[in-house]
Amino acid sequence: MPHILPLTKYHQIYLVLREQLQEGRFANGMPAEMVLAQQFGVGRVTVRRALEQLVSEGLIVRTAGRGTWPAAGQPIRTSIPLGKGVQTRLTGLMENIVSTTRQTTVKVLDWRVVDASADVAEMLQIPLGAKVKKAVRRRSSQEGPLSYITTYIPEPLAVGFGRRELATTPILQLLEESGVELGRAQQTISARQADAVVAAELGVPIGAALLAVRRLVFDIHDKPVQWLHGLYRPDRYEYQLEVSQVGSIDARISVKDKSAG
């Protein structure tokens, strides 16, 4: 783990695990110490110290023979308060996404059918366990990895494209080409720390701060068609919002090009 952040290793791990607990990532129990040590690239003593801090704060319970579990009252899933999201016009956003795509390349890390979890089912307004297509992509600019994006789409909407198309075309454009009439998008923008998987893909230290964008896209009938969670390196990516006098909002994204500066 590179010594870039002014934090001890155990504290970086503690922060990442605390965030994952708050997101409901460990409903079936937390991984064993050895597994966490391998994920974070540290010794078991370092992981144990991070876990002890979570125990002291009442966030997890450790029982011999039963493992480590979120404490009672911890969330088992993430629920996004949609009413606090940003309403975005998809016309301008689509144009900007396509423009940004031309400046970057995509590696498709995962593309498969999964059962909708509680939070995915809630966001897409489908039954729990319904089939959805899950895509995980890493986008890169000339300077290197830029974003780690996870997207869920109801399976019937994704039959017209596959892994090859995902590597070259934005999903919103693929949905339009499949006959979906896009309406609006609702977004929540925040910050998140990189876990072991994301850190490895984006080339940042575990615990590094990332820009987090969650976007729920609706069709013209106000039915959800895409649920996206994107994590972006803030040194290579920026997100801008323009608010007009009449209250409409236009979102713009751009890749930071240090070579032009």
Q: Region 31-38: what's the mean pLDDT?
A: 90
* Per-residue pLDDT at 126 exceeds 90: yes
Q: Which amino acid is at 31?
A: P
* Per-residue pLDDT at 247 exceeds 70: no
Q: Region 142-168: what's the mean pLDDT?
A: 92
| Residue 117 main-chain phi, psi, to 5 deg | -75, 180
Q: What is the DSSP string of 65-112?
A: TTEEEEPTT--SS----GGGSEEEEHHHHHHHHHHHHTT-EEEEEEEE
pTM over 0.85: no
8 Å CB contact between 78 and 186: no
Q: Please give the helix or strand (H or E) that residue 243 lies within, else none.
A: strand 237-243
Question: CATH 3.40.1410.10: which residues of the chain?
Answer: 82-260
* Per-residue pLDDT at 175 exceeds 80: yes
Structure-block tokens of residue 122:
């809630």
The pLDDT assigned to 81 comes to 38
Beta bridge partners of 149: 137, 230
Q: Which CATH architecture best describes the domain 9-70?
A: Orthogonal Bundle (1.10)
* Per-residue pLDDT at 188 exceeds 70: yes
The pLDDT assigned to 155 comes to 95
The pLDDT assigned to 261 comes to 35
Q: Is 4 helix (H, G, I), strand (E, B) or coil?
A: coil
The pLDDT assigned to 246 comes to 47
What percent of the chain shows pLDDT beyond 70? Answer: 75
* Per-residue pLDDT at 174 exceeds 50: yes
Q: What is the average pLDDT score of the chain?
A: 79
Cα atoms in the 13 Å half-sphere on the side-chain side of 158: 24
Of 64-73, 119-128, 222-231, least confident by mean pLDDT is 64-73
8 Å CB contact between 23 and 118: no
Question: CATH 1.10.10.10: which residues of the chain?
Answer: 9-70
| Residues listed for the chain | 261
pLDDT tens per residue, range 46-95: 999 999 989 988 888 988 878 898 887 554 443 333 334 444 455 555 55
Report the CATH superfamily, name and number, of domain 82-260: Chorismate lyase-like (3.40.1410.10)
The pLDDT assigned to 216 comes to 92
* Per-residue pLDDT at 205 exceeds 80: yes
Cα atoms in the 13 Å half-sphere on the side-chain side of 61: 11
What percent of the chain shows pLDDT beyond 90? Answer: 32
| Residue 207 main-chain phi, psi, to 5 deg | 95, -5
The pLDDT assigned to 1 comes to 46
From the list 56, 80, 58, 52, the residue with the least C-alpha distance to 70 is: 58
Q: Region 224-242: what's the mean pLDDT?
A: 82
